[in-house]
Structure 1
Amino acid sequence: MSENTKKDLFYEHGLRFQCQGSGKCCTSHGEFGFVFLTKDDRRRFAKHLKVTTSAFTKKYCDQTNGIWHLKEDKGNPDCMFLKNKGCSVYEARPNQCRTWPFWPEVMNAKAWKSEVANFCPGVGKGRLWSKEEIEQEMSKDRENERKLLGGL
């Protein structure tokens, strides 16, 4: 990253974010529709639901281009685990959900404003996440993506 890019980060002084439990992030927003799952995600879900990983995968998952994701109901853009505007499996939620809203693909000023702040009521609220914490979350998201692409 060039010195100018580092200096110009819109989150240089941190961002305020605290989940408000609105469930809006659990509804499909264009390209962010799939909830992708690593093997660890599927194991965590299975343990939480008290089923085998194989049973969880068969009942709740599909594969697209070799990558596992939660099944989607074409008539309903909401995550299947969204109940009463809340995540019914919060403790078992996948890494993709754990790192929201600090995904690398939305961590520029334009995308943050149009793809996050415009619909997520948690933006601007709660504690101040430091630049270092934000970048740590983005790093977790990138590692998750590597696992997904590696078939883990």
Structure 2
Amino acid sequence: MEDFKFTGKEWWREGVRFECTGSGKCCTSHGEFGFVYLNLEDRQRFAKYFNLSTSAFTRKYCEKTGGIWHLKEDPKNPDCMFLKNGNRCGTYEARPTQCRTWPFWPEVMNAKSWAKDVKAFCPGVGRGEIIPAERIEKQLREQIESEKGWGK
């Protein structure tokens, strides 16, 4: 992915009101956002959580598509395999960068995508505290760095 360029004029510069409501909707498949992508650090964090070696965790829970590591999916249920009771992460402490940085992903941080791809299904948008631009930018940069390691 190309580096995300910040102009200082982004629509979210005044902050965005967001609070996780625990709906679990971000853990369910939304077309192109179906895979939970993982870099090496994500797989190591999961492995430690499950008390497995990184290679054992990777063999058991991961696969590569197009050269990119992601959690395996059940074709009959594309939701995250670690989603419990339809709305809770069963591995919250070990969750990957992709999950920790949601909803502040580069590909949805333009006004049109935010309204279409995030606000339309995430009940946390417009709730809670205002997330300042500095925190949003930090999460965007963390996601960008994570994506660079998805194939490793």
The CA RMSD measured in Å over matched residues stands at: 1.4
1:108-119 equivalent positions in 2, closer than 5 A:
108-119=110-121
Query: In structure 1, how many angstroms separate the alpha carbons of the residues matched to 2:149 and 2:54?
Result: 17
Quote the offset at 1:6 in angstroms.
3.3
Query: In structure 2, how many angstroms separate the alpha carbons of the residues matched to 1:98 and 1:19?
Result: 11
**Residue of structure 1 equivalent to 2:44:** 43
1:133-144 equivalent positions in 2, closer than 5 A:
133-144=135-146
Query: In structure 1, how many angstroms separate the alpha carbons of the residues matched to 2:149 and 2:39?
Result: 6
Name the TM-score, length of structure 1 as normaliser.
Answer: 0.91
Partner AA of 2:24 in structure 1: G
Query: In structure 1, how many angstroms separate the alpha carbons of the residues matched to 2:20 and 2:49?
Result: 22
Query: In structure 1, how many angstroms separate the alpha carbons of the residues matched to 2:67 and 2:133?
Result: 34
Q: Percent identity?
A: 61
Name the TM-score, length of structure 2 as normaliser.
Answer: 0.91
**Residue of structure 2 equivalent to 1:78:** 79
Runs of 4+ in 1 over 2 A off after TM superposition: none
Q: CA deviation digits over 1:56-110, x for unaligned, max 9?
A: 1111101112221100111112100000110000010001111100001000111
Are 2:121 and 1:125 equivalent residues in the alignment? no
Mind listing any 5+ residue stretches in structure 1 that lack a counterpart? none
Secondary structure of the 1:6 match is coil
**Residue of structure 1 equivalent to 2:14:** 13
**Residue of structure 1 equivalent to 2:53:** 52
**Residue of structure 2 equivalent to 1:88:** 90
Quote the offset at 1:127 in angstroms.
1.5
Give the total of aligned pairs. Answer: 147
Mind listing any 5+ residue stretches in structure 2 that lack a counterpart? none
